[in-house]
Amino acid sequence: MASSIKCLIIGSGPAGYTAAIYASRAGLNPVMYMGGQPGGQLTTTTEVDNFPGYPQGVDGPTMMVDLETQAKRFGTDVRFGMATKVDFSSQPKKVWIDESTEILADSVIIATGASAKWLGLEGETTYNGLGVSACAVCDGFFYRNQTVAVVGAGDTAAEEASYLANLCTQVHLIVRRDEMRASLIMQERVKKNPKITIHWNSETEEILGDANGVTGIRIKNNVSQATEEIALTGFFVAIGHQPNTSIFKGQLDMDAQEYLITEKGTSKTNIPGVFACGDVQDSMYRQAVTAAGSGCMAALDAERWLAASNLH
């Protein structure tokens, strides 16, 4: 028999936990299913220095434990499990956990996040958090006055290379083809920056390192087949993110990159009673603090919708 709850939160991380804190304090008795990566992307980050309230910084997993503890303090029912199927065509909404447990929810807050796309190199796993990153804004500070590389050819890669050039001694931009996909203005900004060296027609063969982290990369020119080793301490992969929205296809509106579309200035999706927050609906900022802010919005939107629908 399906269990019925007032507010279901799908996914954890800064957005989900903040939504849980606000929803539980509002008396919505939220139930959270943490998903396949409890705590979200920050659990793979060794140090977080840009989240307010941690003057000495904090490692990602510890921060997520803090947020989870705070959510539980106000009564959030935090459960292991992943949403594998949804049906938002009727009220209450139906959500299946791990393909078996059926949940009936008056309101749903989606905080499933987005996953960074990787090259598939062994070193990305070995040195993740030890020199390998998918976010220059998050981690660039740790590489001040050092040499780093950025992989990618779109606006994100150009923006990250430019950002890092303000902090680092030298930035190597690895571009697979003989041209970039980035907008012309971003391309010109990169090309004119004396700190940025562009390696055209090049691919990363291996990330080099030792027990302390990344020490360099080996790249290969896919035209001449020549290889080159570059000494550096930071390797930033900027080939995009994939929002975790596959189970919502056909039910919730998405943009071309499959991010959930929310009504401007709110967390409301096209289905009344279903709200989205965090990276699952944010392709631009993708920061812990902006995710947390949107989690607050989602809980407030859910509370108001439940009240207006005489469900709270």
Residue-wise pLDDT for 143-201, tens only, equals 999 999 999 999 889 989 999 999 999 999 999 999 999 889 999 999 999 999 999 99
The β-bridge partners of 109 are 9, 275
Q: Is 139 a catalytic residue?
A: yes
Mean pLDDT of 96-114: 95
pTM: predicted TM-score of the whole model, two decimal places: 0.80
When the pLDDT of each residue in the chain is averaged and rounded to a whole number, the result is: 93
Q: What is the pLDDT of residues 222-239, one digit of tens each?
A: 999 999 999 999 999 999
Position 118: which residue type?
W
Given the residues 7, 106, 139, 168, the one annotated as active site: 139
Q: What is the pLDDT of residues 290-309, one digit of tens each?
A: 999 999 999 999 999 999 99
Given the residues 7, 106, 138, 282, the one annotated as active site: 138
Distance of alpha carbon 14 from alpha carbon 281, whole angstroms? 14
Q: Is 277 a catalytic residue?
A: no
Helix ranges, 74-168 (H): 122-126, 136-139, 155-165
Residue 39 has pLDDT above 90, yes or no: no
3-state DSSP call for residue 297? helix
Q: What is the pLDDT of residues 16-29, one digit of tens each?
A: 999 999 999 999 99
Given the residues 59, 98, 106, 135, the one annotated as active site: 135
3-state helix, strand, coil in the chain (%, to 5): 30, 30, 40
Q: Is 135 a catalytic residue?
A: yes
